[in-house]
Amino acid sequence: MPAAQNLDAPPQPLTLLSDDEALFQSTVRQFARDQIRPYVREMDEAGLFRKDLLAQFFQLGLMGIEIPEEYGGQGGTFFQAVLAVEELSAVDPAAGVIVDVQNTLSINALLRWASAEQKAHYLPRLAADTVGAYALSEAGSGSDAFAMATRAEDRGDHFLITGRKLWITNAAEAGLFLLFANARPDDGYKGITAFLIERDFPGFQVGKKEDKLGIRASSTCELILDGCRVPRENVLGEVGQGYKIAMETLNEGRIAIGAQMIGLARGALHHAVAYAKERKQFGKTIGEFQGVQFELAKMATDLEAARLLVYNAARLKETGRPFAAEAAMAKYFASQIAENAASKAIEVHGGVGFTKDYPVEKLYRDAKIGRIYEGTSNIQLLTIAKKLLGK
C-alpha cells in the first residue's frame, strides 16, 4: 500500500502571508486533502474531472475569487487565487489548472476589459455555475500566437467567426469562451480582437478532447467555428485590441502556472519525505542515508526559491507595478524545479515509484506541461532577456 501522505505546507516567513491569506490557504488545503485526494487516481485514469467536485469549487467560491461581491463573487484578491492554485495542485495539478484558467485568465480579462453590461451579464454566471475557457492557440500558432488563421467577418451588428482553436483548457465543461480572432487581417496582429462566445452560439462547437500525458482530468479540446454568429456587444474591449488583452492576461496567468508548479513540487517533495521515513534498507530507513537526505534538501531549497519568485510576481501585480519579466521568471523556474522534484521523488521511491500504486509517477507526467503551456520556457527566457536589454 502507498505510504501515508503528509501534504502540509512547509513553514513560511510570516511576512509573506496575512492572517486572512493564511486562513484561506489552510481552508483550501484541507478541502483538497479531504475532497479531491480520494479521487485523484480515478479521475486521472478516466481523463475526467468529477462534476460533484466542480460544483464544490463553485460552492466554496474558488471559481470566482476576484469577482466583486456585488456580482456574487468572493471579492478576494489575485494573491488568493494564486494560493488556491498552489494548494489544489499539491494534491492534483489538474484541479489547480481548472481554477487557474477560470480566475487568472477568464475572470481577470473580464474584470479589466469588459463593459459594465458585460460584467453584469457574465460575472454572476462565472461566480455561480459557468466555467470559463481561454481560446488563443491554433494548429499553426503556438508560440507565434498571433499567426492565427481564425477570422471574424464584421457584419455590422454581429461578427461571423470561422476557424479552429486547439488545446483549449476547460473546453469540455466551459459555458463561456474568451476567444481571439482576426477581424482585420490586413492589419496583422493589430486586427486581432477578443470575443465572448457562449457555448450555444450558432456555428460554434467543442470538438475532439485530447488524450494527454498528464493533467488528464483537466479537459483540453479543440473548438470549431463555422460562421459562428457573435453579437457585436460581445466584443471584449475594442476591435483590434485583442493583442493587448491576450498579452496582459497571459502575463497574469503565468504567475498562476508558477503556483501550479510549486504546488506540484511540494506534493512530490512530501511524498518523497514520507516514503524516505518508512522505507528500510540495510537495517535503517532510507532517509537516514546522506545521499537521500541531500536530494531532499535540494528539492526543498529549489521549492522555496520558486515559491518566493511566484509570490513576488503576484505581489507586484497586485500593487500595480510592472511584473511581466518577474512572471516569466516565476513560471520558467517553477516549471523547471517541478519537473526535477517529480523525477527525484520517483527515484527516492525506487521501483515502486515507477508504478501507479504510488502518486509520484502521476506528478511526473503532470509536470511536463508546465514548460509548455501559457508560453514555453524559451518564450519566458525571451521575455526576461528583453527586459534586461531594454527592448
Q: Does residue 233 have an active-site annotation?
A: no
Angle between helix 290-318 and helix 242-278 axes, rounded to 10 deg: 150
- CB of 59 within 8 A of CB of 35? no
Q: How far apart are CA 94 and CA 370, in angstroms?
A: 12
**Catalytically annotated residue among 138, 295, 326, 374:** 374
Q: How far apart are CA 303 and CA 229, in angstroms?
A: 47
Contacts for 208 with CB less than 8 Å, ≥ 6 apart: 221, 222
CA 239 to chain centre: 27
Single-letter amino acid, residue 226: D
Q: How far apart are CA 241 and CA 293, in angstroms?
A: 52
Q: How far apart are CA 194 and CA 242, in angstroms?
A: 5
Q: How far apart are CA 254 and CA 326, in angstroms?
A: 10
Taking CA atoms, 112 is separated from 8, 174, 378, in Å, by 35, 20, 28
DSSP per-residue codes, 33-56: IIIIGGGHHHHHHHT---HHHHHH
Q: How far apart are CA 333 and CA 329, in angstroms?
A: 6
In terms of Cα–Cα distance, which of 66, 82, 65 is closest to 259?
A: 82
Helices (H), 69-200: 78-91, 93-100, 108-113, 116-128
Q: How far apart are CA 95 and CA 274, in angstroms?
A: 23
Q: What distance, in Å, lies between the first and last C-alpha atoms of the chain?
A: 55
Residue 71: how many other CB atoms lie within 10 Å: 21
Rg, Å, the chain Cα set = 21
Positions annotated as catalytic residues are 374
